[in-house]
Amino acid sequence: MSDIASLDLATQTRDLLSSLGVDDRRLSAQGLAITVRSPVNGQTLGHVASATVEETNAAIERAHGAFLTWRRIPAPRRGELVRLLGEELRANKDALGRLVSIEVGKSPSEGLGEVQEMIDICDFAVGLSRQLCGLTIATERAEHRMMETWHPIGVVGVISAFNFPVAVWAWNAALALVCGDSVVWKPSEKTPLTAIATDAILRRAITRFNASGDAAPDGLAELAVGGRETGAALVAHPRVPLVSATGSTEMGRIVGRELASRFGRAILELGGNNAAIVTPSADLDLALRGVAFAAMGTAGQRCTTLRRLFVHSSVYDAFVPRLKAAFSSVSVGSPLEGHLVGPLIDHAALERMQEALAAAMELGATVHGGERVDVGAPQAFYARPALVETPVHDGPVLDETFAPILYVLPYDDLEDAISLQNDVPQGLSSAIFTTDLREAELFLSARGSDCGIANVNIGTSGAEIGGAFGGEKATGGGRESGSDSWKGYMRRATNTINYGRDLPLAQGVTFDV
Ligand code: UN1
């Protein structure tokens, strides 16, 4: 292993950004600036200017102006811009993927996977741009027709989190743009560089779009790098009818309340406390791989990360020791050098992990792993994934700790396991490992998992973009990405048209003047 502390990620970052067309002066901001560090070795990558509230409000006004023009452009033409964005992302996949790996600490494969997710949603949105369909509905009145139409809603605020610093923007932006909306994006203050790079990629797509005879208005997609106040400005602004926010439940509670007070719309994608059930009929080899990736991949920092595992008593001794061996042997270290488990995002994340483990031990749990791993860079925070055999479904087991901790509990009755899996505040993702049709169908039924995502024989994480993504309860209830999530980015109008010469009133009401 090379000396991780002396890896010059700052120079690599500058080179990557300049290859993506970002002026390197963006990294040397003075005054109100955010310091960006790589979690891989703690090195400072640069200082990025932070938007003031006035600047954020000005961006929102520009985006509102852009919306007034953009909504008049036919949806399939709007789709052409997103098609070009997809092309630019394909052309810059390696550089952007590498930058994701450096800024977030993901493995190269996961960094590239994140950009692939952006490309996929662009492809999806291009097709969608010709399918923003409403219904035609039977009316009770003669010579009338009733239908619904979908119209652009306005400026869409996007607040994204550090762990998927660019894919989540793409889920929202690709849909919003084909739907005729403009976008103002506040990325996580921990990951502004990948946002700046993505913005540069989008600019190139816009230039090509305009060169082909179309005109994307100025302000169509704004980037507002900043902290809490920037997000608050987006949430408060009356010209932002919809905010799509990804992050903690605590953040979502504030955003949801603020938006509700002005009747703004929210798409909230908040915490998950995802569980899987391993039943007696499970293919244990497959379950082992599914559980390992879901629990340890991305160092446990996905909202879909597997955090709780219910294993049937009859297979507990055959399965859990193998899982423990996987946890204790998985390689922890620089993801840029091939290790599967990379760093936590910062010191606070490591502290929260240690606090959760201590709390679990207080409640009688046995903790395997979980210790800090010294990689020779004091400002980087790596931990061995923790497998926690807990006698109680309580305390930290009920919280989402954004770190690789898997709580394991035995069960005897599937219905009990399902009710325990549902007995947490969050409701994002869930899985069952079984080859028994009855068990699988029960899990997917109305009496089964209460989550927005319920899988059979795959883990809880790594959803494709084609399905709607989101969850229930404290996860916030929003849906992004595929299926008919686009409807959240448009307003629906019901239209009744009378093509006759009479004026029959609905419900048989008479009013003869
Ligand atoms: C997130 O962690 O906020 O399903 C999003 C997954 C990814 C997206 C995760 N496609 O794990």
Ligand 1 geometric centre to CA of 167 (Å): 9
> 125-174, pLDDT tens digit by residue?
999 999 999 999 999 999 999 999 999 999 999 999 999 999 999 999 99
- Per DSSP bridges, beta strands 265-269 and 242-246 are parallel
Q: Tell me whether residue 432 is exposed, middle or buried, using C-beta atoms within 10 angstroms of its C-beta: 0 to 12, 13 to 18, 19 or more.
A: buried
At the second CATH level, the architecture of 4-270+476-494 is: 3-Layer(aba) Sandwich (3.40)
Burial bucket for residue 244 (CB in 10 Å: 0-12, 13-18, 19+): buried
What's the rounded mean pLDDT across residues 493-500? 98
C-alpha of residue 142 to centroid of ligand 1, in Å: 50
Averaged over 410-434, what is the pLDDT? 98
Per-residue confidence (pLDDT) for residue 153, from 0 to 100 = 98
Tokens encoding 429: 């993702």
Rounded CA-CA distance 385/406 in Å is: 8
Q: Of the residues 293, 304, 305, which should be mutated to test ligand 1's pocket, given the most ligand atoms within 8 Å of the CB?
A: 304
Euclidean distance between CA atoms 386 and 381, whole angstroms:
15
Q: Which atom of ligand 1 is nearest to the CA of 464?
A: 10
Q: Whose CA is nearest to atom 6 of ligand 1?
A: 462
What is the whole-number distance in angstroms between the Cα of residue 164 and the centre of ligand 1?
7
pLDDT by residue (tens digit) across 347-359? 999 999 999 999 9
CA distance 70 to 179: 10
Given a contact cutoff of 8 angstroms between Cβ atoms, the answer to whether 489 and 156 are in contact is yes
Return the residue whose CA atom lies nearest to atom 7 of ligand 1: 462
| Helix, coil or strand: residue 91 | helix
Tell me the catalytic residues: 269
- Asked casually if ipTM beats, i.e. exceeds, 0.90, the reply is yes
The share of the chain scoring above pLDDT 90, in percent, equals: 97
Is the pLDDT reported for residue 1 higher than 60?
Answer: no
What pLDDT does residue 31 have?
82
What residue ranges line ligand 1, CB within 6 angstroms?
117, 161, 163-164, 168, 246, 302-304, 461-463
Average pLDDT over residues 41-49: 97
Summarised one tens digit per residue, pLDDT across range 94-127 is 999 999 999 999 999 999 999 999 999 999 999 9
Using CA atoms, how far apart are residues 488 and 480, in angstroms rounded to an integer?
8
Q: What's the fold here for domain 274-466?
A: Aldehyde Dehydrogenase; Chain A, domain 2 (3.40.309)
State in Å: Cα 463 to ligand 1 middle. 7
The rounded Å distance from CA 305 to ligand 1 centre is 8
- Residues 6+ away with beta carbon under 8 Å from 150: 132, 133, 134, 179, 487, 490, 491, 492, 493
Distances (CA, A) of 307 to 91, 175, 337, 345: 36, 30, 26, 18
**Residue 5 binned pLDDT confidence (cut-offs 50, 70, 90):** confident
What mean pLDDT is reported for the chain? 97
Matching fold, domains 4-270+476-494 and 274-466: no
Per-residue pLDDT tens over the stretch 252-306: 999 999 999 999 999 999 999 999 999 999 999 999 999 999 999 999 999 999 9
Pocket test for ligand 1, best of 303, 455, 460 (most atoms within 8 A of CB): 303
Instruction: State residue 2's pLDDT score.
Output: 60
Mean pLDDT of 374-398: 97
Domain locations along the chain: 4-270+476-494, 274-466
